[in-house]
Structure 1
């Protein structure tokens, strides 16, 4: 497959359609018999810049073992990562028949070495299953979703987690809100934040824990949800409790921070459903995504988001939430 075969749809800009397009790619796991087993993986088309043949690379000093080297492409110096090596999958070492997927998200460009790229599938997020249906996923899990095909499964990898592991100095995990001079953390502000509860919605346990740590360190109470459907079910329970108790949903949640790409229900569809509800029509909602282009930001705002953040900018999170839920900062 060449990049000419990949029509880059701004799929996230479609108004809460709850659909995405994924590129299916393969790694060929070497077997003791000398043959190989095809392992099926996927990545959102919106994260892919292009698919190329394996370029010539230069060694990079003191690089991680999973990094093959760096290469130049359209004036960008790009690291080439051996994805099979990172995943612990033995594959053929001959690079001549392999392919490189060049990704562009979180304001970073990376190359990932794979054995082949098969095709593009357009699927509804409601048909994309959480890996928790299959196994207990934790913060270190690198699979965020699973797509069923007729006779095999496509594992959607958590590329944010992979890149963070390979480039730890660029990771959001390095951010410490308690050391941020732009964020006030004193007794008064802690007390104000401790009176508020924020729901964090993200299918990546790795990313979710980073957001939670940042908000909790500044004083906020946290609820978490692993995808849009999980969040909607929790929020609908709050509606029933509010009706039973004669109160409002603000007794349970004051604001929502949501990812866009999630199995079962994506963030934009969740946003649309909440804005169509009289209970959550005015709830502050921030969309936090690795794919927040200007077009996607405008669409999120049109659907009713109060604001958006691109995932590397976690340092903006507390001030943004403060502005939405604290009456006097």
Structure 2
């Protein structure tokens, strides 16, 4: 299956479905016994699964980066995923495999004990981790899937990569120092009159987007998945009808991820464009999986524009162009 075919599964006509690759780490318990830990990653983020390659040490690398290897002419870092997660596992590297990912315009290799199979599921079957634990900025689990009496943890690979390579992290972006963004009293005042809803299942990404928009002056409300966003937005519609005020009293635009539990971003756009109050509201998709094909699908479903992570520097300017265009 080609990368384009795999990525197309994610947003096929806004069906709210995805495919995940289940992989495993074999945890060594304090008493020496073994326990299988189940994890998952969206197929659309995976370039291929390979045997463990020979690596070359990289100077001053983060402790869990085992080195770099060459694959099809490209140098790729190899990350010890178990080490990053704090899962003690065996050291027999020759029995392990590497998941090579391709998203955020970067390729990375993740060392795991085994890859099991692919599950095709509905996002409605994907649960928020807050059902099991309190979400925080430190969480590396963005969703949970129940399969065959096992809990498969869907990991926040954007957070993992940002931690391993801080130089490439969106955390380094400071909108107040971006000369492309006007931040004077007049512009801040205009933004302060507007409210943006940010929808993302990653607390880490959600916080970065919120901080960027707030630093420029915007009011921000958040939702951790598409269903929570839709529920909040439809409640705003009810309140507008009850109080006889326009929807802009509550929200002026939406920034949404694509991959999310319960309801993905594409399906959220599709649902919103069927509601009168949201037919022309600015909606921008912000995703690590925004290929040309997915961008076309997002626009066809009604999104105004798309941003590929980690281009958070485009966020404020793009929202200004839609939300403040009549100011």
Band the TM-score falls in, shorter-chain normalisation: over 0.9
1:46 aligns with 2:53: no
In structure 2, what is the Cα distance between the partners aligned to 1:98 and 1:327? 54
- Give 1:328 deviation, angstroms: 5.3
Partner of 1:202: 200
**Which runs of 5 or more structure 2 residues have no equivalent in the other structure?**
none
Of 98, 101, 119, the residue aligned with 1:100 is 98
CA 1:321/1:7 → structure 2, altered by over 3 Å: closer, same or farther? Answer: closer
Partner of 1:308: 306
Partner of 1:87: 85
Equivalent residue runs for 1:120-269 within 5 Å: 120-269=118-267
In structure 1, what is the Cα distance between the partners aligned to 2:6 and 2:320? 36
In structure 2, what is the Cα distance between the partners aligned to 1:182 and 1:32? 54
Question: Deviation per CA, 1:37-63, whole angstroms, max 9, x where unpaired?
Answer: 000000000000000000000011111
CA 1:7/1:314 → structure 2, altered by over 3 Å: closer, same or farther? Answer: closer
Partner of 2:296: 298
- For the Cα contact (< 8 Å) 2:129–2:144, is it kept in 1? yes
- Give 1:138 deviation, angstroms: 0.3
Size of the aligned set, in residue pairs, is 326
- Give 1:142 deviation, angstroms: 0.1
Matched position secondary structure for 1:292: coil
In structure 1, what is the Cα distance between the partners aligned to 2:307 and 2:7? 21
- For the Cα contact (< 8 Å) 1:98–1:116, is it kept in 2? yes
Partner of 1:78: 76
Of 62, 65, 68, the residue aligned with 1:64 is 62
Taking structure 2 as the reference length, the TM-score comes to 0.98
In structure 2, what is the Cα distance between the partners aligned to 1:151 and 1:74? 39
- Give 1:31 deviation, angstroms: 2.0
In structure 2, what is the Cα distance between the partners aligned to 1:306 and 1:317? 13
1:324 aligns with 2:293: no
**Which runs of 5 or more structure 1 residues have no equivalent in the other structure?**
none
Of 15, 21, 27, the residue aligned with 1:23 is 21
- Give 1:32 deviation, angstroms: 2.9
Taking structure 1 as the reference length, the TM-score comes to 0.97
- Give 1:152 deviation, angstroms: 1.0
In structure 2, what is the Cα distance between the partners aligned to 1:102 and 1:16? 26
* Runs of 4+, deviation exceeding 6 Å: none
- For the Cα contact (< 8 Å) 2:285–2:305, is it kept in 1? yes
How well do the aligned residues superpose, as a CA RMSD in angstroms? 1.3
Partner of 2:273: 275
In structure 1, what is the Cα distance between the partners aligned to 2:281 and 2:112? 43
In structure 2, what is the Cα distance between the partners aligned to 1:183 and 1:111? 35
- For the Cα contact (< 8 Å) 2:200–2:257, is it kept in 1? yes
- For the Cα contact (< 8 Å) 2:196–2:254, is it kept in 1? yes
In structure 2, what is the Cα distance between the partners aligned to 1:200 and 1:232? 12
- Give 1:151 deviation, angstroms: 1.3
- For the Cα contact (< 8 Å) 1:13–1:295, is it kept in 2? no
- Give 1:309 deviation, angstroms: 0.2
- For the Cα contact (< 8 Å) 2:10–2:19, is it kept in 1? no
- For the Cα contact (< 8 Å) 1:59–1:70, is it kept in 2? yes
